[in-house]
Each structure stands twice: as C-alpha cells, then as structure tokens.
Amino acid sequence: MSDLFVRYLLRQGDRALVLSQQLSEWVTHVHELEEEMAVANISLDLIGQARALYAYAGEIEGSGRTEDDMAYWRPAEDFQNPLLVEQPNGDFAMTMVRQFLHDSWAALYWQAMTESVDDTLAALAGKAAKETAYHLRHAKSWVIRLGDGTEESHQRAQAALDHLWGYTDAMFDSDDAEVAVVAKNIGADPTNFKQAWLTGVGSVFTEATLQQPVGAQRRGGRDGLHQSGFEQLIEEMQSVARAHPGAQW
C-alpha cells in the first residue's frame, strides 16, 4: 500500500509542479504587469501544493527523500502529471484555457479531498481548495472575456479549447494506485465529480460563446509517457538544482 500511496502523492505533486513551471515561463512576458502578478501568484501557490505533497510522499516512503529530491532529482519519465498540464503555453488564450480546464478539475478534487481520512491530506486540501477556488475564478473570467471578446480573441480561445479538450478525460482515469488510495477513503475518486466538472465547464463555455469540442481523447502522462518537449521542460526546471547540488535556498 505505501508504494501505491507514494505514487499517488507524487502524481498529484507532479501535476501541480509541472503546471507551476509552465506558468512561471510567462513571467516578464504577460501583456500587463497586473496579470503577471496573478500568474506568478498562481504558479507559487501550485509550488506550495507540490512541496507539501512531495514532502509527505517522502515521509510515507521513509526513504529520507526530500521535496527537492522529488522535484529536481527524478528523471522526466518518472513524472506522472496528466498530459493536459504539459501542453505548451502557446498564446495567452491557450494558457488560460488550459488553466481553466485544470482548475475546474482541481477545485472539485481538493474540495473532495477535504473529506480524506488522512489528516495531513485533509489539512492540505483545506488550504489548496481555497487557493484553487481563486485560481478558477481568475481563469474563468479570462476564458469568458477571450471567448466572448473580439473576433480574434474568440478564435484563439476556441482553437485552444479544440486542442486541449482531448486531454481532459485522462484527468478522470484510474489505475491501481488510484484505486488503492480511494478504497481506503484517503483519496477522492475523480469519477464522482466528473459530471459536476462537465456541467461547470459547459456553463462557462456557453457564457464564453465557445463550442465544446467532440473528438478523440488522448491517454498518457500518469504512466510516465510524455510528449515531445517534456524532457526539455523538466531539464530546464531541474538545471539550477543540478548545477549546484546540495545548494540551500
């Protein structure tokens, strides 16, 4: 069980960390200083969530591995984030639609996790649920503004949604780690909130005048199989830690 639990915790940590790293690439590139602060804040919240999950994974594992070991010293193929969060930033619409699809999921996930029988995770979930509720509010307002904005912003938001939609179903997938943790009421079963997720994103698409795409869903990520470009993303994220092993910051 503890192996599966560690895998489960790392997976959630990877989801948060990879998305955080992607968002941080926007710093100095966002169209407004105010929005840059917003993106950086969200990125830092996600790092905070990843740190807590990684530190707890190390504790459960009992190996002495630290949160830094989890983030900076695992190879790219060990990362089990959903493919959605590793999709390239693209333009601002792509980043915001990605964030919206993720945050809609994460808000429901953390809300459900506040009921976890694991006290550490329930406490983390309480904090993460508040943070994520705000992330979602922010991303949602952009999706509506871009979708129901100018002709160009609408077209960019729709293109982003068309690309990203095929990576959403995998966020509700299950495997042995998921099943084991859910069976003990430690983890939340995402299939329980899939309908709520669909209803939530659907109502925003309507308000944003965006068409919900139909089409093939892609699988992967949680099995360590990633898309091209992922190794470079991880390599860049780990480069400072690896250039200065044992450095303190």
Positions in the binding site for other proteins (CB under 8 A):
31-35, 37-38, 41, 92, 134, 137-138, 141, 145
Cβ at position 155, least distance to other proteins in Å: 14
Which amino acid, residue 148? D
Of the two residues 138 and 226, which places its CB atom closer to other proteins in the complex?
138
Of the two residues 207 and 235, which places its CB atom closer to other proteins in the complex?
207
Residue 105 CB contacts under 8 Å (≥ 6 apart), including other chains: 168, 171, 190, 197
Cβ at position 21, least distance to other proteins in Å: 20
Phi and psi at 228, nearest 5°, equal: -60, 145
Angle at 131 between CA 27 and CA 139, to 5 degrees: 55
Task: Report CA-CA distances (Å) from 166 to 153, 162, 170, 243.
Answer: 21, 8, 9, 37
Of the two residues 38 and 113, which places its CB atom closer to other proteins in the complex?
38
Cβ at position 78, least distance to other proteins in Å: 33
Cβ at position 180, least distance to other proteins in Å: 39
Which alpha helices (H) appear in the chain, and where do they start and end?
2-24, 33-61, 67-72, 83-86, 92-113, 119-147, 151-164, 176-183, 194-207, 230-243
Of the two residues 102 and 138, which places its CB atom closer to other proteins in the complex?
138
Of the two residues 83 and 97, which places its CB atom closer to other proteins in the complex?
97
**37: DSSP letter:** H
Per-residue tokens: 164 = 């990203």
Cβ at position 149, least distance to other proteins in Å: 9
